[in-house]
């Protein structure tokens, strides 16, 4: 039920962190993976490790996104799974955050995510099947403060509701859209937290499971949403956060 043999998956932001892991997990489950990111050297390492097809892609550039989707369809003839993982944050007090920074975060986390999804969904709708998995965040459901991430929380909240909207629009045409809402997991975005003892102590004292998530603890929900195991699940954000949002 959780196998992906014969399926084709695109993973954005695949050159490091969660995206790198997602690509490997999907490949291990049998999928042909197209790994997209801005850093070709890291993508090549991933390709050597799990057989992924590496495509350099800045998802904020329309031409790059068009080339990514076209390359995938030309090579494999279909797209079955899309993991929208590319993203960024900015930890700045709201009263000081430059508008250009706010726009850049929203442009990558929301607008670019929508564009990738739109182009991939056209192929999925033609097929009559497909699973889109948006990587949201607990910061799309609750405030991030005291981390001070106004643009990030706004963008991830938008991802949560965009997931619902696209799911309902496409449900009767065979395309499912869901999201994963990770809590604190190791990544480039959270490295500054991992390097700060006070921040780690704050996480440990406030999370019901008092630690960061381990990289493999997202594998199960990823495979659930990518595979037929979730065939009756759409429009949902599944939170994996050690109980953070249950407090």
d(CA 208, CA 46): 34
Residues annotated as catalytic (active site), given as ranges: 152
Radius of gyration of the chain (CA): 17
| Angle at 18 (CA atoms; ends 17, 24), nearest 5 degrees | 100
| Angle at 178 (CA atoms; ends 185, 91), nearest 5 degrees | 40
The region that residue 12 occupies, defined by phi over 0 for left and psi between -120 and 50 for alpha, beta otherwise, is beta
Nearest to 240 by CA among 212, 204, 202: 212
| Angle at 11 (CA atoms; ends 32, 195), nearest 5 degrees | 130
Q: Are 224 and 123 in contact (CB under 8 A)?
A: no
- Identify the three-state secondary structure at position 175: strand
């Amino acid at each position: 039920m959780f196998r992906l043999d014969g399926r084709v998956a695109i993973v954005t932001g695949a050159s490091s962190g969660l995206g790198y892991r997602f690509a490997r997990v999907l490949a291990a489950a049998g999928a042909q993976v197209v790994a997209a990111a801005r850093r070709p050297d890291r993508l090549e390492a991933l390709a050597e490790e799990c057989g992924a097809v590496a495509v350099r892609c800045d998802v904020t550039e329309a031409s790059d996104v068009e080339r990514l989707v076209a390359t995938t369809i030309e090579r494999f003839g279909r797209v079955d799974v899309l993991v929208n993982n590319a993203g960024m944050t900015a930890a700045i007090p709201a009263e000081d955050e430059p508008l250009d920074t706010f726009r850049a975060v929203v442009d990558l986390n929301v607008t670019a995510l929508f564009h990738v999804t739109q182009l991939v969904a056209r192929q999925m709708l033609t097929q009559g099947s497909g699973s889109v998995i948006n990587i949201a965040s607990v910061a799309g459901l609750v405030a991030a403060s005291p981390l001070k991430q106004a643009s990030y929380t706004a963008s991830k909240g938008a991802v949560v509701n965009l997931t619902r909207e696209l799911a309902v629009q496409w449900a009767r045409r065979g395309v499912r859209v869901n999201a994963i809402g990770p809590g604190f997991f190791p990544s480039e975005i959270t490295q500054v937290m991992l390097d700060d003892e006070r921040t780690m102590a704050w996480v440990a004292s406030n999370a019901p499971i008092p630690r960061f998530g381990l990289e493999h603890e997202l594998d199960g929900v990823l495979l659930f949403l990518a595979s037929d195991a979730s065939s009756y699940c759409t429009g949902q954000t599944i939170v994996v956060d050690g109980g953070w949002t249950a407090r």
